[in-house]
């Protein structure tokens, strides 16, 4: 039989059941049995600490790497967390900051410290046990499977959109919550596979310390949350995989070494992918829009992509083509300005599609203007239209 076969013992299944049960108790049962404070800051820490003590007493393996590698992983994990925090702070300078909602009285700090520490220890030692007792040798598929499992357990399910929510709502939830939680658990699982629970605790604990105990936090839009929450842990997981796979001497079933430059390529590809997403959703001063109607024919046709550049509404004039948001419409409108006027602090635009007989029924407010159309790319948006017709 293969040396890499799954080894799902009774102990493994019991730890899995206890972990799932603990999450269910904390999220579903405790709020019904106890008052808000007792449920969150008494019942939950007790449940987590009981799980931690049980798993810790079973002494799971400390990771597949040698002791020297585990020490290095501790430093790497902390460095990745600090890098992610730095990226969040820089993003906050580009966007905005806000006051932390957490209490900074001594009693509040102690309560929050117990709450965060208990959950962190229980989750990471459970992850370590499930990881270390699954296979006899390293396996990326198991690390990813464990990451998916803990993503499902740690997601804030109360924030899940309704099934009939629009595509934009799901995109915002995925970008600001789902993908960052998944990326964080992916890195934690790779750290756990090679170094045991403590490197994963060093990474997630450093992030938790910043988010829970810093009085001022970056208040980012969902696009920036996507970048800061996914880029560092995703590239970090690739880096850990490459670095540790080069230190597999003495481990049965040694995997084939990957090329040294592969992690760099992954990092560059990830960064380019995030930049492309940023460009598409308008984080940069320019963004693309797909045209879904023929109201601007023959200047702009269905399926064309227009590049829209942000402009001060007061600098826009009649004859220019602009993109603007319309209430109750998920798709921006792209029409030509017929007239522009200023009323107090507001800039108002009368607009019309080149193919329409009459001007638009309402005036576009300057605050709703996305920008000015500076480039038209013919027929580049047909793939987007096809996907929209398929899923919407």
Helix-, strand-, coil-residue percentages of the chain, each rounded to 5 = 55, 10, 30
Per-residue pLDDT at 252 exceeds 60 = no
Which strand (E) or helix (H) includes residue 364? strand 364-365
pLDDT reported for residue 131: 84
Task: Look at residue 386 and tell me whether its pLDDT is greater than 60.
Answer: yes
Identify the band that residue 1 occupies on the pLDDT scale cut at 50, 70 and 90. Answer: very low
The kind and range of the H/E element at 305 are: strand 305-309
Residues 6+ apart with CB under 8 A from 305: 288, 289, 290, 291, 376, 377, 380, 381
pLDDT surpasses 60 at 245: yes
Question: Where is mean pLDDT largest: 80-89, 268-277, 316-325?
Answer: 316-325
Secondary element (H or E) of residue 132: helix 106-132
pLDDT at 250 over 70: no
123 has a pLDDT exceeding 80: yes
Q: Are 138 and 64 in contact (CB under 8 A)?
A: yes
Q: What is the mean pLDDT of the chain?
A: 83
| Mean pLDDT of the region 334-347 | 91
Tell me the average pLDDT across 161-182: 83
pLDDT score recorded for residue 133: 79
Q: Determine if residue 136 is left, alpha or beta; phi over 0 gives left, psi from -120 to 50 gives alpha, anything else beta.
A: alpha
Q: What is the mean pLDDT of residues 253-261?
A: 43
* 52-93 residue pLDDT tens: 999 988 766 666 667 777 888 888 898 889 888 988 887 787
More confident residue, 120 or 63: 120
Question: What pLDDT, on a 0 to 100 scale, did the predictor assign at position 256?
Answer: 43
Query: Over 90: is that where the pLDDT of 169 sits?
Result: no
Per-range mean pLDDT, top range of 253-257, 341-345, 371-375: 371-375
Cβ contacts of residue 120 below 8 Å, gap of 6+? Answer: 201, 204, 205, 208
For 97, the 3-state DSSP assignment is: strand
- Does residue 274 carry a pLDDT above 50? yes
Reported as a pLDDT band with limits 50, 70 and 90, residue 357 is very high
* CB-based contacts of 79, cutoff 8 Å, min separation 6: none
Kindly provide the b/e burial profile for residues 59-69, where b requires at least 16 CB atoms within 10 angstroms of the residue's own CB.
Answer: ebebbbbeeeb
Report the distance separating Cα 190 and Cα 170, nearest Å.
28
Helix (H, G, I), strand (E, B) or coil at 76: helix
Whether the CB-CB separation of 134 and 8 falls below 8 Å is answered with yes
Instruction: Report the pLDDT value the prediction gives residue 257, as an integer from 0 to 100.
Output: 44
pLDDT at 124 over 70: yes
Q: Under a CB-based contact definition with an 8 Å cutoff, are residues 302 and 334 in contact?
A: no
292-304: average pLDDT: 92
Percent of the chain with pLDDT over 90: 37
Q: 193, 42, 198, 189: which is closest to 120 by C-alpha?
A: 198
> Is a pLDDT exceeding 50 seen at residue 26?
yes
Least confident of 111-125, 177-191, 377-391: 377-391
Whether pLDDT at 49 is above 80: yes
What's residue 68's pLDDT? Answer: 77
Beta-bridge partners for 350: 339
| CA torsion through residues 256, 186, 161, 228, sign | negative
Euclidean distance between CA atoms 304 and 322, whole angstroms: 15
* HSE toward the beta carbon, residue 338, CA cutoff 13 A: 14
pLDDT reported for residue 374: 92
**pLDDT on residue 7:** 60
């Amino acid at each position: 039989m293969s040396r890499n076969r799954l080894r799902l013992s009774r102990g493994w299944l019991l730890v899995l059941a206890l972990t799932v049960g603990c999450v269910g108790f904390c999220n579903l049962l405790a709020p019904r049995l106890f008052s808000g404070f007792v449920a969150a800051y008494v019942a939950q820490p007790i449940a987590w600490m009981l799980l931690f003590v049980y798993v810790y007493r079973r002494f799971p393996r400390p990771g597949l790497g040698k002791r020297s590698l585990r020490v290095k992983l501790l430093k790497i994990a902390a460095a990745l967390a600090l890098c992610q925090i730095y990226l969040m702070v820089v993003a906050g300078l580009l966007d905005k900051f806000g006051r932390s909602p957490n209490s900074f009285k001594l009693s509040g700090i102690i309560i929050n410290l117990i709450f965060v520490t208990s959950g962190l220890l229980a989750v990471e030692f459970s992850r370590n046990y499930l990881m270390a007792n699954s296979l006899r040798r390293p396996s990326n598929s198991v690390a990813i499977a464990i990451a998916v499992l803990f993503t499902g357990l740690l997601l804030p399910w109360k924030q899940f959109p309704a099934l009939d929510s629009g595509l934009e709502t799901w995109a915002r939830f995925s970008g600001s919550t789902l993908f960052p939680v998944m990326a964080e658990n992916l890195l934690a699982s790779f750290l756990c596979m090679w170094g045991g629970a403590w490197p994963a605790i060093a990474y997630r604990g450093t992030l938790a310390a910043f988010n829970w105990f810093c009085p001022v936090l970056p208040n980012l839009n969902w696009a920036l949350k996507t970048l800061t929450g996914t880029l560092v842990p995703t590239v970090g997981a690739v880096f850990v995989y490459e670095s540790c796979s080069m230190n597999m001497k003495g481990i049965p079933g040694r995997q084939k070494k990957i090329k040294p430059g592969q992690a760099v390529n992954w990092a560059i590809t990830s960064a380019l992918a995030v930049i492309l997403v940023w460009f598409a959703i308008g984080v940069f001063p320019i963004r693309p829009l797909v045209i879904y109607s023929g109201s601007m024919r023959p200047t702009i046709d269905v399926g064309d992509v227009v590049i829209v550049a942000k402009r001060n509404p007061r600098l826009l004039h009649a004859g220019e083509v602009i993109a603007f948001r319309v209430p109750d419409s998920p798709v921006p409108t792209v029409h030509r300005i017929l007239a522009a006027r200023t009323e107090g602090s507001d800039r108002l635009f009368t607009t019309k599609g080149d193919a329409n007989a009459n001007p638009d029924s309402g005036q576009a407010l300057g605050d709703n203007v996305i920008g000015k159309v500076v480039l038209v790319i013919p027929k580049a948006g047909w793939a987007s239209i096809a996907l929209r017709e398929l899923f919407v």
